[in-house]
Structure 1
Amino acid sequence: MKARELVDRYNKGFRDFSEIDLSGENLSGAGLTAIDLNNADLSDTNLSASTLNEANLYGAKLHTAVLYRASLSDANLCEADLNGASLIKADLHGASLERTNLKDADLTGANLNAASLVNADLTGANLSCVSLVGANLEGANLTEAFLKGANLDGAKLNGANLQGANLSGASFSETNLSHANFSASDLSHANLYAANLSDALLSKADLSGANLSGANLNDANLQDADLNGAFLIDTQLGRANLEGANLSKSNCYKANFKGAFLLRTNLNGTNLNCTDFANASLQAIEDDVDHRPEYAAD
């Protein structure tokens, strides 16, 4: 089907275009609210500035499609193939993208607030400056994704895989990140205030300058992580593994390290005032504290 024919039929009130082939067509600027494109082939299609609010794109083929500034609020994109698609500044708030393939997609500056991306594949995707406030990314694969400056406040990422992702300067305030995999990821200067990182894997992660105040890091694995200059005020680190971690010049005022493991942990210049180390492994800390009389571990 050609683009002109689809638009003519849509304007006459026809809505069901399931399984049609529109690959390579130009539908830029088209108004197609609530259209049914279930399992349609839209690969390489130009949908820039199109309106697809509440559209049914379940299982649609959209790989390498162009959706620049497209409006897809509340659309159904579950199990769609958006591999390599361009969604720069697209509006996807409230959209369903569960189990969707977004590998290497470009979502720079897109609005994904309150969207559902449960078990979506975002491997290598560009999500810089994306807004994902209140979004659900449970079990999503974000391996080596680029989320620099993204806003994920109040989102759900429990069980998500963010291994090797660039999350520098991203905001995760009050976000659920329990059991998430952040190993070897870049979280430098990220805002993780009051985030739930219990049982999270953060080994070899870069958390330098990050704000982890009030966060829950109980049972987290921070082995060889870099927390240089991080803020850990009133942070819960019970039973956390901090072996070989770098906490130099970090602020751990009133932090809870009960039962934590701190072998070879670098605490040079760390603020340990009012810190709780009950039942923690403190061999390295005791050595450091002896050389830093200005701080006291209460």
Structure 2
Amino acid sequence: MKARELIDRYNQGFRDFSDIDLSGENLSGLGLTAIDLANANLNEANLSCATLNEANLYGANLNASVLYRASVSDANLCEADLNGASLIKADLHGARLERASLRDADLTGANLNAVSLANSDLTGANLSCVSLVGANLEGANLTQAFLKGANLDGAKLNGANLEGANLSGASFSDANLSHANLSTSDLSRANLYAANLSDALLCRADLSGANLSNANFSASNLKEADLNGAFLIESYLGQACLDGANLSKSNCYKANFKGAFLLRTNLNGANLNCTDFSNASLQPVDCEVDLNTEYVTD
């Protein structure tokens, strides 16, 4: 089907265009609210500035398509193929993208508030400056994704794979990252205030200068992680593994390391006032801890 025929039939009241082939067609700027394009072929189609609110795009092929500034709020994109698609500054708030594939897609500046990306594949995707407030990314694959400066406050990322992702300067306030894989990720200067990182994997992650205050790191693995200059005020690290971690110049005021594993940990210049190390395995290296500080080591 050609774009002209689609427009004519849509204007006549037709909405069911499932399974049609619109590959390479120019649909830019069109108003197609509530259209049914389930399993349609939109490979390399131009949908820039199109309105697809509440559209059904379940299983659609949008590989390498262009949705620049498109409005796709509350749409169904479950199991859709958006690999290599351009969604720069697109509005997808409230959309469903469960099990969708967005490998290497460009979502720079997109609005993804309250979207569901559960079990989706975002490997290598560009999500810089994206708003994902309250989004559901449970079990999502974000390996090597670029989320610099993104807002994920209150997002659900439990069980997500963010290995090697660039998360520098991103905000995860009150987010759920329990059981997430953040190994070798860049979280420098990120905001993780009151985030849940229990049982998370953070081996060799860069958390330098990050705000980790009131965060929950219970039983997390921070082996050889870099927390230089990080804020851990009143954070909980009970049973966490910090073997070989760098906490130099970090602020651990009232932090709880009860039962934590801190062998080969660098605490040089750290603020340990009122820090709880009870039942911890504590053998720091290169440490110049102020012995007059008030911390507990049962």
TM-score range, shorter chain: over 0.9
Residue 284 of structure 1: how far off its partner (Å)? 1.8
1:166-245 aligned within 5 A: 166-245=166-245
- Amino acid in the other structure paired with 1:238: G
Aligned to 2:20: 20
Residue 21 of structure 1: how far off its partner (Å)? 0.2
State the aligned residue count. Answer: 296
Q: Structure 2: which 5+ residue stretches go unaligned? A: none
1:29-40 aligned within 5 A: 29-40=29-40
Residue 294 of structure 1: how far off its partner (Å)? 5.5
Pairwise CA RMSD: 1.0
Q: Are the counterparts in 1 of residues 265 and 283 from structure 2 also a CA contact under 8 Å? A: no
Residue 283 of structure 1: how far off its partner (Å)? 1.9
**Offset from partner CA, 1:186-231 (integer Å, 9 cap, x none):** 0000000000000000000000000000000000000000000000
**Offset from partner CA, 1:22-57 (integer Å, 9 cap, x none):** 000000000000000000000000000000000000
- Amino acid in the other structure paired with 1:297: Y
Aligned to 1:292: 290
- Amino acid in the other structure paired with 2:295: A
**Offset from partner CA, 1:235-282 (integer Å, 9 cap, x none):** 000000000000000000000000000000000000000000110001
Task: Name the SS for the 1:133 alignment partner.
Answer: coil
Aligned to 2:95: 95
Q: Structure 1: which 5+ residue stretches go unaligned? A: none
- Give the Cα–Cα distance (whole angstroms) in 2 for the partners of residues 179 and 34 of structure 1: 37
**Offset from partner CA, 1:72-127 (integer Å, 9 cap, x none):** 00000000000000000000000000000000000000000000000000000000
Q: Are the counterparts in 1 of residues 153 and 171 from structure 2 also a CA contact under 8 Å? A: yes
Aligned to 1:65: 65
Is 1:55 aligned to 2:55, yes or no? yes
- Amino acid in the other structure paired with 1:14: F
Aligned to 1:162: 162
- Give the Cα–Cα distance (whole angstroms) in 2 for the partners of residues 160 and 279 of structure 1: 31
Aligned to 1:114: 114
- Amino acid in the other structure paired with 1:140: A
Task: Name the SS for the 1:102 alignment partner.
Answer: coil
- Give the Cα–Cα distance (whole angstroms) in 1 for the partners of residues 8 and 169 of structure 2: 46
1:118-137 aligned within 5 A: 118-137=118-137
1:73-84 aligned within 5 A: 73-84=73-84
Aligned to 2:271: 271
- Give the Cα–Cα distance (whole angstroms) in 2 for the partners of residues 242 and 62 of structure 1: 44
Which runs of 4 or more aligned residues in structure 1 lie more than 6 Å from their structure 2 counterparts after TM superposition?
none
Sequence identity, in percent? 80
